Amino acid sequence: MMMIEFDISTSVLPLKKRDQVKDHWLQVRLDTILPMIMHKHQVDMWVILGREYHEDPIMETLLPADVDSSRRLAIIVFSLNPDKTVDRYVIHLNPSFEPFYERVWQPANEDQWGCLARIVEEKKPSRIGVNISKHYSFCDGLSHSYYEKLVEILGTEHAGKIMSAESVALDWLQIRTEEQMMAYPGIAEIARKLAQKALSNEVIHPGITTTTDVVDWIRQRVSELGLLTSFYPTVDVIRKGMGKLEEVVILPGDVVHIDFGIHYLGLCTDTQQLAYVLRMDEQDVPEGLQAAMRTANRLEDIISDNFLDQRTGNEIFAACIKQAEDENIKAMIYSHPIGNHCHAAGPFMGMYDRQGAIPVKGELPIQNNTCYAMEFNIRQYIPEWDQEIPIYLEEPIAYKDGKVHYLAKRQTSYYVIR
């Protein structure tokens, strides 16, 4: 069967089509995920207050494509009904909020805060969730002044019902719909192809090109495609006898390492890929480096095998490190969720500067239809170099129906720069 070459430029949707896709996803998420998580966490009402130029991170995931900001003040209210459906209200005059939300503000009779007070009085919820959190920045979007205003307008009868909506917000951010799960591999593959091209002779001329030049190229190319990077990319090299180097000219014999991701259709990727620059007398990557890649791939298998439904991030980390030690693999694991954010909502499995149990973020369980960056490094002795070096890899993965799936083509060999 003939394989069709993946064309990055034609795989990126036009702007209007992107808006249509994101709006469709928003509608499906509001219809399916929202009622499920509000019922799961027994939150009767969820109030999100948006402030222009100081947006709540959750509000940003709720705005239709034709609404670019909260415009002074926007209030979204979700009210859970006894039949597990959710009434969705917006306290704003912009008609573009429909049909996602029902506009309920009567400006001739009330201001926006008065409208919110009226809805709360009509619904009489037992628990009112708001976005305050000690541990998660994207669940902590309610400003202090707006919190004070909310307490004031709710009065003594309802102010005591205010609680953190952290659990609902985390699930809203981390759980993907079936359609998003189907689309995520294409997004991840765009990022992988960009990284692969950055680590090629099309971009790198050994002895001339610097690591900074490669960063500049990939940032420019992402911009030309009308995309955003999910964080500022980095490129460095591992060089025989010198270890890891940054901001240097790339030379024959270097292992070139890129850490890079994109933000597209509201979803982030995060990947680390490796290339080797052949010396003039070499036809292939030294066997010692290839063996180290095989070890890194083995650690990926270990991590995949230890992903189990409802197992916490800390439990996965401990099990993987134990198995790696049993197999004499020197491993560091610092995997994290991906989604609307690069370091997203969900369970963390170790951190680069904390190889152990992670309080709070490591205690969250793995759930179905969630996505992660499998991020780690292994250290291995390279006979040709007579030294031990780190091998850094990171692959975007999905956890679905009890199994790990790679979102992009898994790297099992170095890209070769001649």
The pLDDT averaged over each successive group of 10 residues in the chain (418 residues) is: 54 95 98 98 97 95 96 97 97 97 96 97 97 96 97 95 98 98 98 98 98 98 97 98 95 98 98 98 97 98 96 98 98 98 97 96 98 98 97 98 97 98
Q: Residue 9: what pLDDT?
A: 65
Q: Is CATH 2.60.40.10 what the domain over 176-417 is classified as, yes or no? A: no
Q: Residue 398: what pLDDT?
A: 98
Q: Which of 179, 139, 134 is nearest to 46 (CA)?
A: 139
* 274 contacts 255 by C-beta, under 8 angstroms: yes
Q: Residue 11: what pLDDT?
A: 84
Pairing of the two strands 128-130 and 45-51: parallel
The whole-angstrom separation of Cα 404 and Cα 314 is 17
Q: Residue 6: what pLDDT?
A: 52
Q: Which of 141, 36, 171, 109 is nearest to 91 (CA)?
A: 109
Q: Residue 4: what pLDDT?
A: 44
Q: What is the biggest distance separating any 2 CA atoms in the chain, rounded to whole angstroms?
A: 82
Q: What is the 3-state secondary structure (H, E, C) of the chain?
A: CCCCCCCHHHHCCCHHHHHHHHHHHHHHHHHHHHHHHHHHCCCCEEEEEEECCCCCHHHHCCCCCCCCCCCCEEEEEEEECCCCCEEEEEECCCHHHCCCCEECCCCCCCCHHHHHHHHHHHHCCCCEEECCCCCCHHHCCCCHHHHHHHHHHHHHHHHCCEEECHHHHHHHHHCCCHHHHHHHHHHHHHHHHHHHHHCCCCCCCCCCCEHHHHHHHHHHHHHHCCCEECCCCEEEEEECCCEEEECCECCCCCEEEEEECEEECCEECCEEEEEEECCCCCCCCCHHHHHHHHHHHHHHHHHHHHCCCCCEHHHHHHHHHHHHHHCCCEEEECEEECCCCCCCCCCCECECCECCCCCCHHHCECCCCEEEEEEEEEEEEECCCCEEEEEEEEEEEEEECCEEEECCCCCCCCEEEC
Q: Residue 243: what pLDDT?
A: 87
**Tokens 């955003």 appear where?**
228
Residues spanned by CATH 3.90.230.10 within the chain? 176-417
CATH architecture label of 15-172 = 3-Layer(aba) Sandwich (3.40)
Q: Residue 2: what pLDDT?
A: 39
User: How big is the CA angle at 273 (ends 291 and 305), to the nearest 5 degrees?
Assistant: 65
* 97 contacts 64 by C-beta, under 8 angstroms: yes
* 91 contacts 50 by C-beta, under 8 angstroms: no
The whole-angstrom separation of Cα 407 and Cα 27 is 24
Q: Residue 1: what pLDDT?
A: 39
Residues spanned by CATH 3.40.350.10 within the chain? 15-172
Q: Which of 268, 311, 99 is nearest to 180 (CA)?
A: 268
CA distances (Å), origin 57, targets 43, 157, 364, 370, 383? 19, 29, 20, 19, 49
From the CB of residue 278, how many other CB atoms can be counted at a distance below 10 Å? 17
